[in-house]
Amino acid sequence: MSTTKRALGVVASALLLLTIASAPAFGQADASDRPFRPVTAEMLSRPPASDWLQYRRTYDGQGFSPLAKVTKANVGNLAPIWEFATGLTKGHEVVPIVHDGVLVISASYNVFFGLDARSGKFLWKYERELPDKALAVVCCDVVNRGGVFYGDNVYFGTIDAHVVALNAKTGKIVWDTKVADYSDGIGITGAPLVVKGNIITGMTGGEFGARGRLIALNAESGKIVWTTYTIPGPGEPGNDTWGGDETWKRGGGTTWTTGVYDEKQNLIFWPTGNPGPWNGSVRPGKNIGTSSIIAFDGDTGAIKAQFQFVPHDLWDYDNIAQPMLIDITKGGKKLEGLFETHKDGYSYMVERTNFGSGTVDNMNFIYGEPFMPVTVWKGLDATGHPIYDAAKDPTKGELVDVCPSFLGGSNYMVPSYDASRKTAFITANLWCETIKALPPEPWKPYAAYVQAEFHMHVMPGVEGAGGVVKAIDVNTGKTRWTHSMPDANWGGLLSTAGGLVFGGGTDTRELFALDADTGRVLWKYRASSGLAAAPITYEIDGQQYVCYVVGFGGAIPIWSGEIKDKYYQNTPQGGAAIVFALKK
């Protein structure tokens, strides 16, 4: 029996674990009996306040809900009303989606569930037979961060590099399209976007010699419409920044998290990952297309602009935190910006309009402000690029100590933005590392293409495992408040019009709601496992709900080494969706 079959064998029994589930009130239909309206482009553009249709709810990536029935005054009365155990013990990083009472979550190994959003009633399950060789090129656990509703369907990517459309009410397969070969180190773990009737997906593989790309498929037919590579080939702008023997072919720059869509400009902004291998001595030059934000034409996928945050990255400083489209005021002038936190310990703002000439590193830098002590380089120059410190170069054969670590700083954990407060809320870990490059080796299929040694440690002087939530003034990039945690913070955030920021910890398993103005803890709940995902909120028949999916795993137990050994030996695993509402 394959690894996947053994893992999925427990799922059937999990369907009985609708613990503490509450049925709908008398006379109220559950989702299986309610009408399911097809999701239109207009709904994705201006979603109903009651729904959460896509990864960050809105195209701008802000992860904010206008619902306000749960407030600072009453959030202490928030209580669990149902829980659903997935029966799987690997990492759960999904941001759930909800429409017309149907809640869709993903678990480990590309198992998807459709649940009644009010009661937790099981509606359907999708599970996939994953080839063992596809599992061999998964760098950071068998996770999936979710799907998107469009029309009558829900769409998502798979570990074996397919995109799948399911009927959202029944879970039946509508189409299933292979978009790449997992033998090239490629899989899909991020949630897609829907743009101009196309499903837009990224891909993984930066640690296995993949070449980054963004892929669009027709939502109705599943046919591939366009594919755009992030790393330029011969004759394309920036290919001359890749030295060595055709290093661009295996150069990373993968698109493994989720981008955003600027409808006004018809541009898809998507973050890209580290160059490969980590040993930068074999790929001299800036390595354009990696550790960047890239603007793709919404119709054709053509690259229109980009900003490279870390040229010639030597530390695995992917630019893969969720970008957010945010308009700010600087010097009395309104600017249309793109905000991102980064593994390198900085919060950045770049301009998403008024591009310079060409398409290589042509986006205007607005600011870069550290949200933690950064020792890896000496600061940023006037263009927003690092001022490198030769003493922190890991390719010289000796271990160098740098802050942040390659896990961050910030990582994939999604931030949130409250426009009324002009405040971005970010998660981070105050982690450092020692790192050095190892001797170069040729690329081999199904083998890691990293060539580095590293050892994690919490930043000196920090108590506990170094997790924080920070509130950032988006006009300046400066920190407004910090919520320090005793454990690591691998959970994303949700902010609401009720003045709240929802998040959670990993080792303590403690879910929380913070005051958006002060960072003060207003509510806590001890879950069955740690948080490695982000919560959402939705409304049905006038009742506001908050949904978390917990499940310790992901990159933490695989990559964090000494930190894991010290802090996470007793953290229970096992995925579960937990839904909360105010006590009546």
Q: What whole-number distance in Å separates Cα of residue 200 and Cα of residue 349?
A: 24
Identity of the residue numbered 351: E
Write out pLDDT tens, residues 219-268.
999 999 999 999 999 999 999 999 988 999 999 999 999 999 999 999 99
Question: What CATH number is given to the structural domain containing 510?
Answer: 2.140.10.10
Write out pLDDT tens, residues 6-49.
344 433 334 333 433 344 443 456 776 778 999 999 999 999 99
Q: Which helix (H) or strand (E) holds 164?
A: strand 162-167
Write out pLDDT tens, residues 527-544.
999 999 999 999 999 999
Torsion (CA) 260, 262, 266, 269 in degrees, nearest 10: -40
The torsion angles phi and psi of 248, rounded to 5 degrees, stand at -60, -25
Mean pLDDT along residues 442-471:
95
Residue range(s) defining the domain that contains residue 345: 3-582
Write out pLDDT tens, residues 405-431.
999 999 999 999 999 999 999 999 999
Query: Do residues 154 and 126 touch, judged by C-beta distance below 8 A?
Result: no
pLDDT of 20 reads 39
Q: What whole-number distance in Å separates Cα of residue 323 and Cα of residue 218?
A: 24
DSSP letters, 269-328, are EEE---BSSS-GGGS-S--TTSSEEEEEETTT--EEEEEESSTT-SS-----SPPEEEEE
Residue 136, by phi and psi: left (phi above 0), alpha (psi -120 to 50) or beta? alpha
Half-sphere exposure of residue 77: CA atoms within 13 angstroms, side-chain side: 10
Catalytic positions are 316
pLDDT of 67 reads 98
Q: Which of 236, 234, 237 is nearest to 247 (CA)?
A: 234
Burial of 36: CB neighbours in 10 Å, binned 0-12, 13-18, 19+: middle
Write out pLDDT tens, residues 149-198.
999 999 999 999 999 999 999 999 999 999 999 999 999 999 999 999 99
Give me 7's structure tokens.
């893992």
Q: pTM for the complete prediction?
A: 0.95
Q: Which of 394, 434, 411, 408 is nearest to 534 (CA)?
A: 411
Total domains present in the chain: 1
Q: Which of 93, 95, 92, 113 is nearest to 104 (CA)?
A: 113
Residue 11, by phi and psi: left (phi above 0), alpha (psi -120 to 50) or beta? alpha
Mean pLDDT along residues 336-350:
97
pLDDT of 29 reads 63
Identity of the residue numbered 185: G
Query: Do residues 96 and 37 touch, judged by C-beta distance below 8 A?
Result: no
Longest alpha-carbon distance in the chain: 71
Q: What is the mean pLDDT of the chain?
A: 94
In this prediction, residue 379 has a pLDDT band, given cuts at 50, 70 and 90, of: very high
Q: Please name the residue that has the structure tokens 């050892």.
A: 455
Query: Do residues 350 and 364 touch, judged by C-beta distance below 8 A?
Result: yes
Q: Which helix (H) or strand (E) holds 43?
A: helix 41-45
pLDDT of 31 reads 72
Q: What whole-number distance in Å separates Cα of residue 286 and Cα of residue 162?
A: 31
